[in-house]
Amino acid sequence: MFKKRDSVISECLVAAASDHGAESSRQLNEFATALTLPLRQAIFDCDNRFDIFEAVDFRDQSCVEFPIDPIQPGMENDFKAFAVPDCSCLPCVLLEADYVTIPTYEIANCVEWCMKRARKGNLNIVDRATEAFRAGFTKKMNDDGWHVLVASGLDRNIIVRDSAAVAGQFTKRLVSLMKLVMRRNGGGNSTCLNRGQLTDLFLSPEGMEDIRNWNVDQVDEITRREIFVGADCDNGLTRIFCVNLHALDELGVNQEYQLYYENDLSGVLPAGKQEIVVGLDLANRDSFVQPIVSELEVFGDDSMRKCRRQGIYGFFEGGFSALSSRRVLLGAI
C-alpha cells in the first residue's frame, strides 16, 4: 500500500523509537496521523462483499433509522383503483410505515512492532503493520456483512434445491429455479419496474468447478468449448441466464459461512444436500445498507514501551443491515 517511500513517515518512525518518552509519543502520534488517510482509502479494499452493501453516512445523526416499506409481501394486490358509481365516496388507502433502528458498534484493531527495528527507519515495518491493520478490519467487516446476508436468507424460510441433482452438484436448473422463486416471491406483477429478480449468485469454488464438468446433457458442445478455453481461469462461466456467478471461498462444506449457517443459526439443509448458495437481488438497491457513524481514526500506541514495542490502534463505528429479506434467497446443492 505504501509503494512510495515517504521520508517524513520514515523520520517519524525513527523518532518515535527514541528513548525520550514525550518526544517519542508525539512523533508516534504524528506517524499514526500520516497513516490515517491512506488507511481510510484502503480499508474497504480486498473485501468479499462485492459492493453489496451501500455505505450510508450517519455521522451527523444521533440515531440510525431506516423507514420500513409499508407494502409488505402479499399486500401488493390490496392497492388498486375502483370504479366509482354516482353519488358515492371515493375509497381511500392509508399508508403507514414504521422505522427500523440499526444497532451500530465500534470496530477496533491494533498492531505492534519492535522499537529496535523501527530505529533503522525500515519502512517494511510500516508496510506489513498497516497491511495487517487493514486486513483485520476487512476480515471483520466481511464476516459481519455475510453473516447478515446468510441470516436474512434463513429468516425468509425458503431454500431452493434441484431435487434431480446429486449432493454437492451445482446445476443450471438450480439457477433457473432460484430465478423463478425470486420472481414469484419478490412482489409486484409482470410489468413492475422494481419487482424481485435474481441478479447475483454466490457459491463455493467446488460448486463453480462443477461447471467445468458439465456434460452435453447440461450444455451444448459450443458452450463446453467456451468454458474450456475461457480467459477466466478461476471460473468456468461468470454468467448464466443473466445471473452473475461469484465463487466465494468461505462457502462450501466445512467452510466458515457454511458452519455459521449450520452451527450459529441452526440452519437445516434439505435432505441429500450439503452446502448453501446465496442468491441476491442487486438490481433494487433498497435493502443492503452499511451505516457509517464515524470514520476510521488511527492513534499511536506507546503503552508497551517497557517491552520495547510500539504500535498503532484505531477504530470506527458502523453496522450492517438487510432491510428486506425479499432481496435474499438461499439455495442448496
Within a 13 Å sphere around the CA of 83, how many CA atoms are in the beta-carbon half? Answer: 1
The gap from C-alpha 215 to its chain's centroid, in whole angstroms, comes to 33
Note whether 13 and 7 are within 8 A (CB): no
Q: What is the pLDDT of residue 1?
A: 45
Q: How confident is the model at residue 26 (pLDDT cuts 50, 70, 90)?
A: confident
Strand partners of residue 240:
243
Q: The pTM is what?
A: 0.81
Within a 13 Å sphere around the CA of 269, how many CA atoms are in the beta-carbon half? Answer: 23
Reduced to 3 states, what is the DSSP secondary structure of residue 223?
helix
In this predicted structure, the answer to whether residue 260 has a pLDDT above a threshold of 90 is: yes
**Span 134-182, pLDDT tens digits:** 888 889 999 999 999 999 999 989 999 999 888 988 988 999 999 999 9
Domain ranges of the chain: 145-288+323-332
Greater model confidence, 22 or 250? 250
| Nearest of 209, 280, 213, 199 to residue 249 by alpha carbon | 209
**Span 219-252, pLDDT tens digits:** 767 777 776 666 555 555 678 888 999 999 999 9
Average pLDDT over residues 11-17: 70
Alpha helices (runs of H) in the chain, residue ranges in sequence order: 7-16, 21-42, 115-118, 124-155, 172-184, 205-209, 221-229, 256-259
Give the list of residues 6+ apart from residue 319 with CB closer than 8 angstroms, or none: 64, 102, 103, 104, 105, 144, 290, 291, 293
Q: What is the pLDDT of residue 58?
A: 84
**Span 59-113, pLDDT tens digits:** 877 678 777 665 555 555 565 666 666 665 666 665 556 677 888 899 999 988 8
Note whether 324 and 141 are within 8 A (CB): no
DSSP 232-257: -SS-S-SEETTEEEEE-TT-STT-HH
C-alpha angle 161/165/171, rounded to 5°?
75
| Nearest of 267, 265, 203 to residue 236 by alpha carbon | 203
